[in-house]
Structure 1
Amino acid sequence: MDVEKVFHMNGGLGDNSYAQNSSLQKKASDMVKHITLKTLEETYISTTPKSLGIADLGCSSGQNTLSNIRDMVETIDKTTGKLPNTRPPEFRIHLNDLPTNDFNATFKILPDFHQALNHQRRHRSPNHDSSVYIAGYPGTFYGRLFPDKCLHFIYSSYSLHWLSKVPPGLYDKNGKSINKGSLYISESSSPQVSKAYFDQFQEDFSMFLRSRSKELLGGGRMVLILLGRRDRSHVDRGNSFLWELLSRSFATLVSQGEVKQEQVDGYDSHFYAPSRDELEEEVKKDGCFNMELFEMFEIERNSGAYMSHGTAVARTVRAIQESMISHHFGEEILDNLFENYGKLIDEEMGIEDIKPISFITVLRKL
């Protein structure tokens, strides 16, 4: 399966869209927003460019992306107001995601966004005359996207745990998966499965760092937010356990005759939750960045009145994984699959909390 041609968040504004089911990601980015904005402010103060280049890698579609832009523009406007003889810069903001992403959903709301943003800026500073330019850059960030030294700040939220492809090491010489019955690394997986995922992570993340080191100016920074794991073990009651529950949901469909076991055995995720040590080692090997900050955090459980936590997680995962699952299995299984998944999560949460963790790290270009 060609991930670059198939994988995308659910577009539009419907019930199963990413725009309607990304509140958990928004909650997480808001938890560390103070770090993101402080890093942007420090980067701007140290360079004070007349034209500030910002890229959002893995931007997806919907209001989350534009909310981040609004916060960034507001932060820089306030900062320049404190600096003597300094006017706000123009903003060059590049929204990046895979070509299959629903960029149109974002572009359709850009006129209203621009109007509201400019109104707010004039209210804060009637004499401001800088502009905000927003463009889409479709393509994989596991490779070059932008010209040399054109960016000051890069932001990526909940994207870098997605690999460029399903690890080739998961398949034997006959093209059969060696990780039968599991979608990701599980207790039943062999050491070769863990190695296959780790090897693909190393290849992808090293390419990501090499590419960004050419596109960032000296002193430029990256804020990266991604899912991770606590220690060397690949199996825990966190991100890997959520994949295990999705595997169990597929097993239920197999028992009901809705899918064949061979289909499930042939489906593997293109996901990897690295440890802190693994991230640090790749940054060290690359040699172009200094890791200025690294923090681990947990997203608080959803406590909405209209749906259970399991349902909220299931809808979030569906908005992310539907394109891949429907391509392999067909669309007709989706409703039952994710209904089962939500129930399993709620059942397990009643026994013991599931605690997926996230990382935020700040890298400065040397």
Structure 2
Amino acid sequence: MVASMVKPIVEESIEELYQTLFPECLKIADLGCSLGPNTLLVVSEIIEILSTTSQKLNSPLPSLQAFLNDLPGNDFNTIFRSLQSFYRKLETEKGNTFGNCFIAGVPGSFYGRLFPCNSLHFVHSSYAIMWLSEVPKGLVSQTGEALNKGNICIAKTSPPAVFKAYLDQFERDFTLFLKSRAEELVAGGCMVLTTMGSIKSDDPLSIWEVVGLKLNDMVLEGMIKESKLDNFNLPYYAATMEEVKKVIEAEGSFTLQKLETFKVDWDTYIKKANKGLDKQAREAILASDIRAVGEPILANHFGEASMEDLFRRFKEVVLDHMEKKKCVYFNLVISLKKKG
């Protein structure tokens, strides 16, 4: 669902790059690629776009060099083991109609330099930049009291100081992200970023707030210490359109080509991929997906032993929350071009 809405924007960027720069080898990076069925999706889509564009212009296809980036803890070896089957599939589908494709892994934080100067033509990132480089400072009062008590992220009950601490951290991180990419991209190079967004004035319930509610239940039942919950905050921030624009304009290296928003229900992607699933099955998939993202951070703080119970509780209520409160993911798609 999300990929299909972002794809036309990626197509525009790649076609423009191809027609203005005519690279013999198009070099792209997918930042925060993670591990899963969609890890190589962006590479596949760009190959398809290049094939179509080259036929349209009656010009030769460039080679493609794709860099897959994530933190060092990502399972790059599994990705590497899947490459031979990916290349075979590409050869079967495209034969000699596509040039060489080379894929490499680049471990490291994208909040800093990853590539040489002027070495990339296109950067893609999907659902990665809402994860901050660290938990914001300033979430504890001068007397040592937790300011975001009972919450694990920004919530409706969070005080203004918490909102400010998270916004300040986002501005620092996103500025560094843009500066780093500006050095790595060639003049005229493009970026398409998809991230969770916010409207602040009337935000729907965050799915992480539901996780927080279940942690609160476990505190009330004596399974988790209250102080343990009060002192935990996710390094997660969903920015507004205005906040994103402000950082892009202040940093100054990029022209904002497009900034679009769209909303999807929490389980839309599940219903689209698995038609006919009942509510219980959708809850199980959604809980499993959120667990895959959140468990490494949560288990490190609350302990591995609490995770099974936490996500069982989450699974039992998550779609009830969605149905009662019309909960949706608010998404931002950001298309940028490096000034030349």
**Both structures adopt the same fold (TM-score exceeding 0.5):** yes
Q: Deviations over 1:65-94 (max 9, x none)?
A: 21221111121122112224x311111111
State the match for 1:36 in structure 2.
10
Matched residue of 1:82: which SS? helix
Deviation at 1:238, TM superposition (A): 4.0
Aligned partners of 2:335 and 2:187: how far apart in 1? Answer: 15
Q: TM-score, normalised by structure 1?
A: 0.86
Aligned partners of 1:179 and 1:36: how far apart in 2? Answer: 38
State the match for 1:236 in structure 2.
203
Deviation at 1:247, TM superposition (A): 1.2
User: Does 2:301 correspond to 1:328?
Assistant: yes
State the match for 2:84 in structure 1.
111
Aligned partners of 1:120 and 1:174: how far apart in 2? Answer: 64
- Once the two structures are superposed, the pairs formed by residues 3-18 of structure 1 within 5 Å of their partners are none
* 2:290 corresponds to which of 272, 296, 317: 317
* 1:293 corresponds to which of 233, 236, 258: 258
Matched residue of 1:114: which SS? helix
Aligned partners of 1:166 and 1:57: how far apart in 2? Answer: 20
Aligned partners of 2:319 and 2:23: how far apart in 1? Answer: 50
Aligned partners of 1:348 and 1:78: how far apart in 2? Answer: 43
Quickly say closer, same or farther: Cα 1:30–1:344, change in 2 above 3 A: same
Give percent identity, aligned residues only: 36
User: Does 2:311 correspond to 1:350?
Assistant: no
Aligned partners of 1:340 and 1:195: how far apart in 2? Answer: 31
8 Å CA contact retained: 1:238, 1:356: no
8 Å CA contact retained: 2:30, 2:42: no
Q: Choose 99-108 or 37-46, whichever is displaced more.
A: 37-46
Quickly say closer, same or farther: Cα 1:174–1:110, change in 2 above 3 A: farther
Matched residue of 1:218: which SS? strand
Matched residue of 2:209: which SS? helix
Aligned partners of 2:211 and 2:257: how far apart in 1? Answer: 36
Q: Deviations over 1:276-334 (max 9, x none)?
A: 00000101001111111111112243434154544333222111011011111111111
State the match for 2:38 in structure 1.
64
Q: Choose 302-311 or 352-361, whichever is displaced more.
A: 302-311
State the match for 1:207 in structure 2.
176
Q: TM-score, normalised by structure 2?
A: 0.92
| Counterpart code for 1:69 | V
8 Å CA contact retained: 1:245, 1:341: yes
8 Å CA contact retained: 2:195, 2:332: yes
- Once the two structures are superposed, the pairs formed by residues 151-162 of structure 1 within 5 Å of their partners are 151-162=120-131
Deviation at 1:174, TM superposition (A): 6.3
* 1:168 corresponds to which of 113, 132, 137: 137
User: Does 2:150 correspond to 1:181?
Assistant: yes
Matched residue of 1:109: which SS? helix
Q: Deviations over 1:316-361 (max 9, x none)?
A: 2111011011111111111211121122222222323102210111
Deviation at 1:31, TM superposition (A): 2.6
State the match for 2:28 in structure 1.
54
| Counterpart code for 2:221 | Q
Matched residue of 2:79: which SS? helix
State the match for 2:70 in structure 1.
97
| Counterpart code for 1:98 | L
Q: Deviations over 1:185-224 (max 9, x none)?
A: 1222111000000000000000001010111111111000
Q: Deviations over 1:108-145 (max 9, x none)?
A: 1111111111222216x2xx5x2111111100000111
Deviation at 1:175, TM superposition (A): 5.6
Aligned partners of 2:55 and 2:156: how far apart in 1? Answer: 55
| Counterpart code for 2:163 | S
State the match for 1:16 in structure 2.
none
Aligned partners of 1:147 and 1:350: how far apart in 2? Answer: 48
Matched residue of 1:318: which SS? helix
Matched residue of 2:34: which SS? coil
Aligned partners of 1:175 and 1:215: how far apart in 2? Answer: 41
| Counterpart code for 1:107 | F
Provide the aligned C-alpha RMSD in A.
1.7
**Structure 2 residue runs without a partner (length 5+):** none
8 Å CA contact retained: 1:229, 1:238: no
**Structure 1 residue runs without a partner (length 5+):** 1-26
* 1:149 corresponds to which of 103, 111, 118: 118
* 1:270 corresponds to which of 226, 232, 235: 235
| Counterpart code for 1:252 | D
8 Å CA contact retained: 2:322, 2:328: no
8 Å CA contact retained: 1:29, 1:157: no
User: Does 2:100 correspond to 1:131?
Assistant: yes
Q: Deviations over 1:16-51 (max 9, x none)?
A: xxxxxxxxxxx3123321221232122221111001
